[in-house]
Chains A and B, each alone.
Chain A
Amino acid sequence: MPSNVNAPFNLKELSIQYDGKLLLRKEILLDEPVFQQLLSSNYLTERKSIIRKNLKFQCQRCGNQTAYLFAKIPCQLCHHTHVYCRKCIEMGRVSECEMLYYWTGPTPKWLRHAHPCSWQGQLTSVQRQAAERIVAAIRNKESELLVWAVCGAGKTEMLFLGITEALQHGKRICLATPRADVVRELLPRLQKAFSTVSIQALHGGSGDKHGTAQLMLATTHQLLRYQNAFDVIIIDEIDAFPYHADPSLPFASNRAKKAESTTIYLTATPRKQQKELIRRKKLSHIFVPIRFHGQPLPVPKKILSHGLKRDLHNHLPPAAFLKWVNVRKNPNRQLLIFVPSILLAEKIKPVLAIKLKKAGVLKSKEKLQSVHASDPDRESKVQAFRERDTFILITTTILERGVTFPSVDVAIFDAGHDVFDEAALVQIAGRAGRSPNDPTGEVLFFHNGKTEAMVQAIDSIKSMNKRGGFSK
């Protein structure tokens, strides 16, 4: 009789629950005797959670090595004073006296789906080309592929063929993105496109924390709890905050993939680092230069506005903006206004409402709203703008990417500000002209002296249009 028949646990269930994870004891929901039995039979293996490396500490969950992100705690569990990691503490404290555990028992067999994709739409020929390149990368187990697709190219749809390919071969897939709102937006789209496949979404506020589905959708932060888990990892918006700024996140996504696996990076605005890798042919890539509706990207205009800093300091809109707003090419378009700070977004709102109502641009003051990251009504305000209940929306960079409004003009107040780097400016410009019914839109940079970032953003949009076959 095999020894595990009388065991108080179901190995198959446990392997699905714990394979590919890297967890603290308190994240493993097993009674102590079962847990000890799994450890002693080597189904679970422990490793140190914090190691000392060249006089430095390193957290083994998030990779943190920054000295000021470690602190000491007089621990009541082990009655010693030891270090813990402050970097990833939002996911539960990693202390030196506790171990991390990973599954070393039998690996789960994921389903081979014959026809997983229920999406009925059609890809354009450019999208199909990129989609087939992704399929090839997954089929040939290429380690990395960068998909560089302009804003509004229809990136999500391009992934469907690749995900289908992976599911047909019983692979486990994770679609990760730095932003929780993108996870929330993608989940219903994926569920619709793969209606027979188990899909789970993980982000800071998500209730379902099992993370046991074959097709996972997660913020890149959630990958901190994974190790050696996925055959295919797709990382959306690799250039977005905080992925490009926080070394823990590439550390985690790198660990979350299996030794033999494919990582697909998606971006509309690759950073210098990736462009350099492409130039040196160290990173294979495919470029998608055309929006799904086949029209070029709107090219931003720089508008010099004298006294802009003074105006904004007094919470007044730039003079040049008030001039332009009356002579817009299509006054029916909604207007999205980007400002560099939360404070300005709040302070400029009432003044702008009065001025624009007087100018006849606004029907009532309530048609103008402002939104920022710490706004409790953030989601409902964005929704109201999407449904055209709000005509003008003032926003910080939170709406720079991942959101689609069909017909808008875009203005940036103080485009020369540090928060608007090249990637941000290209993304912001990409909010205009996203609908086939209104594929153009005006994008204006109001500034008081052009910056390197503005010039480069415009150059890069022009060169993308050129590569897309549009002259000028």
Chain B
Amino acid sequence: MNCLWCYNEIIPEITWTNLFQLDKPKPVCNSCADKLEQLQGDRCIKCSRQTDAEICSDCQWWKANQETDPLEFNYSVFAYNELMQEIIAKWKYRGDYALCGIFKTYLEDAFQERFSKLKREIVVVPIPLSKERAKERGFNQAKALAEFLPTKCTDILLRKHGEKQSKKTRMERIDTENPFILENPINKPVILVDDIYTTGTTLRHAADLLKNQGCPAIYGLTLIRG
């Protein structure tokens, strides 16, 4: 096996515990895995950002500017550090699809930790790409992540074409009109899955639609808290 990121060969260590039954092959080598920064310690209960406060300043702002927040909470796994920025650039923008394999076990663990106690009937909904963007990219990164989770995954959202989120400023992003269309309303709780939570606008736009059309509870699971 070669590391998905640095291509160095991964040589599994043989110990008494795995002598007869080998461990699952690791997607990345230890030295690359060490450079990924997992969020830990004190975090905002709403958005997963590392902070001393119980609710971070971003989420206070959301609270003050919205009547009711359609999103119960967002949970993220990684910080957006240097290596993660490089991985995302190569994965999303260069289109190296296989790199999502790096995140599989991390997402499974995050699901176990934060969502497994919620209702059984919970459904995973990936944040969609517009048709044009999907054609350009060839795959939807959020869907690739959503499919790692051990529950039902459905595409019920559509996205209108617009400018890339990453090219807008913070206020422009928060002010944009809702880019989503809900194809099939759903009456089960939903986990929205996306790659990066930056301002939280994208998730809240999607959550708004779902909530208004009868969805009981909406959560967010994102790979990165930007």
Contact = CB atoms under 8 A, between A and B. Distances in A.
Interface in A58-110: 68-69, 71-77, 84, 86, 89-90, 92-93, 95
Contacts of A89: 90, 94-96
Interface string B1-40: 1100001000000000000000000000000000000000
A93 B94 contact: yes
A71 B97 CA distance: 8
Interface in B130-153: 134-135, 137-140
Given A68-B7, A76-B135, A77-B135, A93 B96 contact: yes
A68 B138 contact: no
B138 A93 contact: yes
A96 B98 CA distance: 15
Contact of B139 (A68, A69, A74, A90): A74
A92 B90 CA distance: 10
A75 B96 contact: no
Contacts of B7: 68-69
For A72, A76, A89, the residue with the greatest tally of chain B CB atoms inside 10 Å of its CB is A76
Contacts of A74: 97, 139
A327 to B, nearest CB: 41
Contact of A76 (B1, B98, B138): B138
Contacts of B1: 68
Contacts of B139: 73-76
Interface in B87-102: 90, 94-98
Nearest to A75: B138
Interface in B145-196: none
Contacts, number: 43
A68 B1 CA distance: 8
A59 to B, nearest CB: 14
Interface in B44-79: none
A89 B98 CA distance: 12
A75 B2 CA distance: 24
Contacts of B140: 76
Contacts of B138: 73, 75-77, 93, 95
Contacts of B94: 89-90, 92-93
Contact of B97 (A69, A73, A90, A92): A73
Given A68-B2, A76-B140, A89-B90, A84 B97 contact: yes
Contacts of B90: 89-90
A93 B98 contact: no
A93 B2 CA distance: 20
Contacts of A84: 95, 97
A84 B90 CA distance: 14
Nearest to B101: A71
B85 to A, nearest CB: 14
A395 to B, nearest CB: 22
A93 B95 contact: yes
A73 B138 CA distance: 8
B151 to A, nearest CB: 19
B96 A86 contact: yes
A86 B135 contact: no
> Looking at A68, A75, A90, which has the most chain B CB atoms within 10 Å of its CB?
A68
Nearest to B3: A68
Contact of B98 (A86, A92, A95): A86
Nearest to B82: A374
Interface string B85-119: 00000100011111000000000000000000000
A189 B95 CA distance: 37
A89 B93 CA distance: 10
Contacts of A92: 94-95
A73 B92 CA distance: 13
B98 A71 contact: yes
A76 B2 contact: no
A68 B134 CA distance: 26
B25 to A, nearest CB: 12
A97 to B, nearest CB: 9
Interface string A281-323: 0000000000000000000000000000000000000000000
Contacts of B135: 76-77
A62 to B, nearest CB: 14
Nearest to B144: A74
Contacts of A77: 135, 138
Contacts of B134: 76
Nearest to A70: B98
Contacts of A90: 90, 94
Contacts of A71: 96-98
Interface string A425-459: 00000000000000000000000000000000000
26 contacts: A68-B1, A68-B2, A68-B7, A71-B97, A73-B95, A73-B97, A73-B98, A73-B138, A74-B97, A74-B139, A76-B135, A76-B137, A76-B139, A76-B140, A77-B135, A77-B138, A86-B96, A86-B98, A89-B90, A89-B95, A90-B94, A92-B94, A92-B95, A93-B94, A93-B95, A95-B138
Given A68-B7, A71-B98, 20 more contacts: A68-B1, A69-B7, A71-B96, A72-B98, A73-B95, A73-B98, A74-B97, A76-B139, A76-B140, A77-B135, A77-B138, A84-B95, A89-B90, A89-B95, A89-B96, A90-B90, A92-B95, A93-B94, A93-B96, A93-B138
Task: Enumerate the 3 nearest inter-chain pairs by beta-carbon distance, A residue then B residue, closest first.
Answer: A71-B98, A73-B97, A93-B95
